[in-house]
Amino acid sequence: MSTKSGTDYNQELPSVGSSNYSGLNVTDLFGIVSKRILFFLTGFVLVVGLLLLYSLAATPKYTASSELFASYDDTSSSSQDISSINTAGSYIATQIKSYPSLATTQAVLEPVIKDLNLDMSVKDLGELITVTNPTNTMLVDISVETDDAAQSQKIANGVAESLSNTIKSSLYSSSNSPVKLAVVQKATLPDSPSSPNIKLNLLIGIVLGIIVGILAALVKDMTDTRLSSVRDLQNITNAPLLGSIPDTDVVKQAAPVVTSAPSSLVAEEYRRVRSNLSFIAPVKGLNSRLIVITSTEPGEGKTTTSVNIAAAFAENGSKVLLIDADLRHPSVATKVGLEEAVGLSHVLSGQANVADAVQRYWKANFHIMPAGPKPPNASLLLNSSTMEAMVMQALRQYDYVIIDTTPMTIAADAGMFGRMGNGVVMVVGRGICDKKDLGTTLQQLHNVEVPVIGTVLNYAEQSKKHHGNYYYYDTEGKRQQRQQRRTDKR
Instruction: List alpha helices for 349-384, DSSP H.
Output: 354-357, 378-382
pLDDT of residue 22: 61
Q: Are residues 315 and 355 in the same domain?
A: yes
Element (H, E) at 247: none
380/390 Cα distance (integer angstroms): 15
CATH number of the domain at 459, please. 3.40.50.300
Interval 108-142: pLDDT, tens:
999 999 999 999 999 999 999 999 999 888 899 99
Q: Looking at the predicted structure, is the pLDDT value of residue 171 above 90? A: no
Q: Are residues 301 and 446 in the same domain?
A: yes
Interval 364-413: pLDDT, tens:
999 999 999 999 999 999 999 999 999 999 999 999 999 999 999 999 99
Of residues 413, 348, 345, the one with CA closest to residue 379: 413
Residues 246 and 462 sit within 8 Å (Cβ to Cβ) = yes
Amino acid (one-letter) located at 212: V
Q: Are residues 208 and 115 in the same domain?
A: no
380/132 Cα distance (integer angstroms): 90
Q: Are residues 457 and 469 in the same domain?
A: yes
* DSSP-assigned letters across all residues of 73-128: -TTSGGGGG---HHHHHHHHHHHHTTHHHHTTSHHHHHHHHHHHT-SS-HHHHHTT
Q: DSSP state, 15?
A: P
Residue 142: strand pairing partners:
66, 131
Q: What percent of the chain has pLDDT over 70?
A: 84
Core vs surface per residue 211-235: b (16+ CB within 10 A) or e: ebbbebbbebbeebeebbbbbbbbb
What's the order of all strands across the beta sheet hosting 179-185? 129-132, 139-146, 62-72, 179-185
Q: Are residues 418 and 428 in the same domain?
A: yes
pLDDT of residue 348: 96
Q: Are residues 230 and 258 in the same domain?
A: yes
Claim: this prediction has a pTM higher than 0.85: no
Least confident range of 8-17, 222-231, 420-429, 454-463: 8-17
Residue 424: strand pairing partners:
292, 452
Residue 144: strand pairing partners:
64, 129
Contacts of 60 (CB under 8 A, 6+ apart): 147, 193, 195, 196
Domain boundary among 130, 162, 185: 185
Higher pLDDT, 92 or 55: 55
pLDDT of residue 6: 41
Identify the band that residue 32 occupies on the pLDDT scale cut at 50, 70 and 90.
confident
Q: Looking at the predicted structure, is the pLDDT value of residue 11 above 90? A: no
Q: Are residues 177 and 259 in the same domain?
A: no
Q: Are residues 113 and 207 in the same domain?
A: no
Q: Give a yes or no: residue 418 inside a domain.
A: yes
453 φ, ψ to 5°? Answer: -80, -15
Q: Give a yes or no: residue 364 inside a domain.
A: yes
Q: Burial-class residue 255 by CB neighbours within 10 Å (0-12, 13-18, 19+).
A: middle
356/440 Cα distance (integer angstroms): 38
Q: Give a yes or no: residue 10 inside a domain.
A: no
Q: What percent of the chain has pLDDT over 90?
A: 68
pLDDT of residue 239: 94
Contacts of 281 (CB under 8 A, 6+ apart): 1, 3, 4, 289, 422
Residues 152 and 202 sit within 8 Å (Cβ to Cβ) = no
Q: Give a yes or no: residue 152 inside a domain.
A: yes
Q: Are residues 234 and 211 in the same domain?
A: no
Q: Give a yes or no: residue 449 inside a domain.
A: yes
Interval 139-166: pLDDT, tens:
999 999 999 999 999 999 999 999 999 8
Of residues 407, 400, 405, the one with CA closest to residue 418: 405
Q: DSSP state, 226?
A: B
CA 64 to centroid of chain Cα atoms: 48
Which of 70-79, 206-215, 246-255 is predicted most confidently?
206-215
441/424 Cα distance (integer angstroms): 12
- The number of distinct structural domains making up the chain is 3
Identify the band that residue 298 occupies on the pLDDT scale cut at 50, 70 and 90.
very high
Q: Give a yes or no: residue 478 inside a domain.
A: yes
- Whether omega before 240 lies within 30 degrees of 0, making that bond cis, reads no
CA atoms within 13 A on the CB side of 305: 33
234/302 Cα distance (integer angstroms): 19
SS3 for 37-49 is HHHHHHHHHHHHH
Q: Looking at the predicted structure, is the pLDDT value of residue 330 above 70? A: yes
427/242 Cα distance (integer angstroms): 10
pLDDT of residue 92: 79
pLDDT of residue 252: 84
- If one counts every other C-beta atom within 10 angstroms of the C-beta of residue 345, the result is 25
Q: Are residues 371 and 417 in the same domain?
A: yes
Domain boundaries, position 296: 226-489
Q: DSSP state, 195?
A: B
Q: Give a yes or no: residue 357 inside a domain.
A: yes
Q: Looking at the predicted structure, is the pLDDT value of residue 307 above 90? A: yes
CATH number of the domain at 125, please. 3.30.70.1130
Q: Give a yes or no: residue 21 inside a domain.
A: no
Identify the band that residue 224 occupies on the pLDDT scale cut at 50, 70 and 90.
confident
Give me the chain's average pLDDT, please. Answer: 86
120/111 Cα distance (integer angstroms): 12
pLDDT of residue 177: 64
Collapsing DSSP states into helix, strand and coil, what is residue 197?
Answer: coil
Q: Looking at the predicted structure, is the pLDDT value of residue 474 above 50? A: no
Residues 2 and 453 sit within 8 Å (Cβ to Cβ) = yes
| 452-460 vs 424-429, strand pairing mode | parallel
pLDDT of residue 175: 54
Element (H, E) at 148: none
Q: Are residues 122 and 237 in the same domain?
A: no
Q: Are residues 37 and 127 in the same domain?
A: no
Contacts of 194 (CB under 8 A, 6+ apart): 61, 62, 63, 145
